Amino acid sequence: MKLLEKIFGSYADKELKRIKPIVDHIENLGPEIAKLTDAQLRQKTDEFKKRLSQGETLDDILPEAYAVVREAATRVIGERHFRVQLIGGIILHQGRIAEMKTGEGKTLTATLPLYLNALTGKGAHLVTVNDYLAKYQAELMGKIYNFLGLSVGVIIHGLDNNQRKEAYACDITYGTNNEFGFDYLRDNMVVYKDHMVQRGLNYAIVDEVDSILIDEARTPLIISGQGEKSTDLYEKVDVFVRRLSKAIFKETDDKEFADETDADYIVDEKAHTATLTAKGVEKAEKYFGVENLSDIENMTLSHHINQALKAHGLMRKDVDYVVKDDEVIIVDEFTGRLMYGRRYSDGLHQAIEAKEGVKVEHESKTLATITFQNYFRMYSKLAGMTGTALTEEQEFRAIYNLDVIPIPTNLPVIRVDHDDVVYKTKRGKFNAVLQDIIESNKKGQPVLVGTISIETSEMLSNLLKKHGIKHNVLNAKYHEKEAEIVAQAGKYGAVTISTNMAGRGTDIKLGGNPEFLAKQEMRKMGMDEALIAASVSFNETDDEEILKARKIFKELHDKFKVETDREKELVIKAGGLKIIGTERHESRRIDNQLRGRSGRQGDPGESRFYISLEDDLMRLFGSERIERMVDALGLEEDQPIEAKLLSNAIESAQKKIEGINFQRRKNVLEYDDVMNKQREVIYSQRAMVLNDENIKSYIEKMIDNISGSIVSMYCSESANPADWDISSLVNYAETIMLPKGTLNAKEIGSSIKTSQELRELIRDKAMRLYQQKEQEFGEELMRELERRILLKTVDEKWMDHIDNMDQLKYGIGLRAYGQHDPVVEYKREGFEMFDEMINNIQQDTVKMLLRIQKEHVTVKREQVAKPTEASHGDSGPQKPVKRDAVKVGRNDPCPCGSGKKYKKCCGANQG
């Protein structure tokens, strides 16, 4: 393959060659565009919109539009797009992934395709990984859009419905992946169309695309309501599990060896499982007084025990989660950030709460859910940008139909990436890391140390304190100061310890960042955050206080710029930013992200990873051959090992894990695709109802369908009418649709001769009742009732269906042992369950409509799903993102509008 690329050039080279003439055209337009006044430049936006309305395409106007944005950026924020950023902008407009190295200006690059695609009036979204980045990028780049006459909105946590609607109505909207996804789910739970906030999914650029579409791919977004189950069992099971002994294995492939252990349960680190041994099962049966733990009636107990085993055997405090203010908070395994409100699902979070002795919260009921994979695949055009995507190109192509084009750097990368240094033990490794930091610090070279866990970052911090080295720690516990700490990590003599750098999003500038220093000084002067934000905003104002703050900011920025420029020279002489990795991550991409923090825009820098054979990656996925080789060398713990075999083994281990994770994500998608097709059907039906399409004709069709199904159940066409079970038919028809006493069994027996006649009789009786209701309520109120009742029924049945499909997926894995493909079985049974749900929706809707009494009807506008604080979770390392919806109380008025209490109406069957 490499030889072919040398002869014919790579795919990316060919694509870049095709783009070159477009880039040349943009650059040639530069002098002409530069002659325009500000007003003339702004008028170009209206001109482009007009040209589009007259039949020109976005591709037709791209060169001139990009030249206009480039000129506007130069005038407004003093930054001009480099040629490589123009290339990136074209790739993004084409719906592809632009791989741009750190510091190459992805934020500025995105302004080009966002402006161009926003001209259609259908909206353009920029998706980031956190609220801070969404606000910061919208504020900074919003100056360019506003200058050109386009509006910019931001979607972050905590906004109300009206604020969200306004943000989506803007030409360009910045926001986080979670917020975009939750808004989509909430929009599909509303009762009135004007409660919806989004206006279609037209074009999106996903920043840090590998983090969102790969690392978070298995993470479902979930809107949940509180369940009713008691939490006592979690605490009882926790007491029991604490009494058990455990054995930890790298892997338990050798079943006999596993069974020989004297322990009560086994932890398999490689497979990430914890299971009872035969001895443990015996203890559980005795402790809980059950005969057979595997019996179906003991399924709940067995599930609780399994989750408690995971909590004690696999989940590590200060690695997988932290306990803060008596609350268990998940730590993101890729970024090291605290994931407030996120909860592991399937009872695992409750099991950890019991383990840590904090309040055990109730399990929740899923009201709506979707994975990021399926949400982002709904956009008409999707693009992405990141510094590291090429290692996952196969997955981007297979799942999202996105190809990856590496964009050349503006200046050559002169960072030196040293070979890995491998030590026998962790202690030997950290001693070497400490010496490297001390030596670099002596000459003033800034050092950024990357760690995989909070535990490691704090241990290293204690080591540095003992040696009197001043440093900053950036991990999940200190994320509030994240941007400031990262921004100053390039200062002369700075030492920064950070858990994974994925998605950090702030450039490390050598010598320090004058803008952050100026803001820091303004805080010291007593200015609040709103005023500081206004001081760097481009929004027009005549507010004296803001104008004064802007003047102070400029003076401080200019003063600090002199200092940081002087410091930058010292840092360059010292060798630039040094990156030290204390462990290899499972993914090569995460390692590359850490490395990429150094050497931005042609700056000098260096990187090195320190590894020990005790690290999880080497312990679980390294070969035994390596262990034998190292033992044969008889090295001391502080002697480094340098061998090509080790470097190959590390890369091989990482590739092995990447392959396993890709298969897991593909497997999740295969299951979720089944739910996705069903979700599309349900949501499109809801949309028709919300759009005031003719609901009456739906109801009439439902009545006809139900009449047919009643007859087909009790009256075979081939059978003699005398053999029909008329009394059962009457009883069933009056249970699922008609009020009692509507049908007369004797009358049917004596006058009906065919099943078709019987179907027409039942349908006509129901239709007459339906027409009477319409006369009684009036046409307008009847349509409103139909809409309310249909939406309420669809939502209730869909929520139950989500739970049922989860149960089906949970149990269907066992089918593989019976030579059945579990995905095929899941599809087949899932379709049958969906079909049954549709029938139940029709029956319940018609039954409620035909039986509703006028004196019980009150109609007031309300929203079904009102979002409250975020709440999240999963049964493994993946954590579904959850948001709670307000629960209807048992004694509250029923949301269907009947006027009855919820427990006497729609909640009657919900215990």
pLDDT value at residue 542: 81
CA-CA distance, 497 to 479, in Å (whole number)?
Answer: 12
Q: Which of 379-388, 681-690, 765-774, 870-879 has the lowest mean pLDDT?
A: 870-879
- Whether the pLDDT of residue 908 is over 60: the answer is no
Over pLDDT 70: what percentage of the chain? 84
Which H/E stretch holds residue 97?
Answer: strand 97-99
pLDDT attached to residue 158 = 86
Of 151-155, 305-309, 451-455, 796-800, minimum mean pLDDT range: 451-455
What is the rounded distance in angstroms from the CA atom of residue 310 to the CA atom of residue 320? Answer: 12
Among residues 200, 209, 205, 202, which one has the least CA distance to residue 91?
205
Q: What is the mean pLDDT of residues 503-508?
A: 63
Whether residue 607 contacts residue 401, with contact meaning beta carbons closer than 8 Å, is answered with no
Q: What is the pTM of this model?
A: 0.77
pLDDT-derived band of residue 186, with 50, 70 and 90 as boundaries? very high
Nearest to 580 by CA among 692, 721, 433: 433
pLDDT digits (tens, 9 = 90+) for 613-670: 888 777 766 656 666 767 777 777 777 776 666 777 777 778 888 888 888 788 778 8
Confidence at 733, pLDDT banded by 50, 70, 90? confident
pLDDT tens across 662-718, in order? Answer: 887 887 788 888 888 999 999 988 888 888 767 888 899 999 999 988 888 877 766
- For the chain, the average pLDDT equals 82
Residue 524 CA to residue 290 CA, distance in Å, equals: 65
**pLDDT tier, 228 (very low <50, low <70, confident <90, very high otherwise):** low
* 423 — pLDDT class (breaks 50, 70, 90): confident
Q: What is the pLDDT of residues 156-176, one digit of tens each?
A: 988 899 999 999 999 999 999
Domains of the chain: 11-223+374-406 (3.40.50.300), 229-361 (3.90.1440.10), 416-510+576-657 (3.40.50.300), 512-570 (no CATH), 694-852 (1.10.3060.10)
- Give mean pLDDT, residues 768-786: 89
Query: Which one, of 143, 140, 120, lies nearest residue 65 by Cα?
Result: 120
- Give burial (CB, 10 Å; 0-12/13-18/19+) of 558: exposed
CA separation for the pair 906, 792 (Å, rounded): 9
Q: Which residues pair with 384 in a beta bridge?
A: 97, 206
- 103-117, 210-224, 545-559: segment of lowest average pLDDT: 210-224
pLDDT-derived band at 231, boundaries 50, 70, 90: confident
More confident residue, 852 or 55: 55
Orientation of helix 38-53 relative to helix 131-147, angle to 10°? 100
What pLDDT sits at residue 23? 94
pLDDT over threshold 50, residue 69: yes
Torsion angle defined by CA atoms of residues 71, 72, 74 and 77, in that order, rounded to the nearest 10 degrees: -170
Identity of the highest mean pLDDT range in 116-130, 387-401, 580-594, 781-795? 116-130
Of 595 and 646, more confident: 595
Lowest mean pLDDT among 253-257, 380-384, 440-444: 253-257
**What is the C-alpha to C-alpha distance for residues 388 and 133, in angstroms, rounded to an integer?**
18
| Per-residue pLDDT reduced to its tens digit, 366-415 | 788 888 888 998 999 999 998 877 778 888 888 888 888 888 888 888 89
**For residues 907 and 898, what is the distance between their CA atoms, to the nearest angstrom?**
12
Share of the chain above pLDDT 90, in %: 28
pLDDT at 199: 92
Q: Could you tell me the pLDDT band of residue 855, with boundaries at 50, 70 and 90?
A: low
pLDDT surpassing 50 at residue 911: no
| pLDDT beyond 60 at 250 | yes
Do residues 317 and 440 touch, judged by C-beta distance below 8 A? Answer: no
Secondary element (H or E) of residue 154: strand 152-155
pLDDT digits (tens, 9 = 90+) for 313-356: 889 888 889 898 888 988 877 666 777 777 887 788 999 999 99
Q: Which two tokens stand for residue 472?
A: 């900053």
Which has the closest alpha carbon to 707: 727, 732, 724, 740? 732
Q: Is the pLDDT of residue 862 over 60?
A: no
What are residue 118's phi and psi, to 5 degrees?
Answer: -70, -20
At residue 221, the pLDDT reads: 83
Say which residue, 103 or 471, is predicted with more confidence.
471
Lowest mean pLDDT of 31-35, 530-534, 718-722, 821-825, name the range: 718-722
pLDDT band at 93 (very low <50, low <70, confident <90, very high): very high
Q: How confident is the model at residue 436 (pLDDT cuts 50, 70, 90)?
A: very high
For residue 365, the surrounding DSSP H or E stretch is strand 364-371
- Residue 298 is predicted with a pLDDT of 77
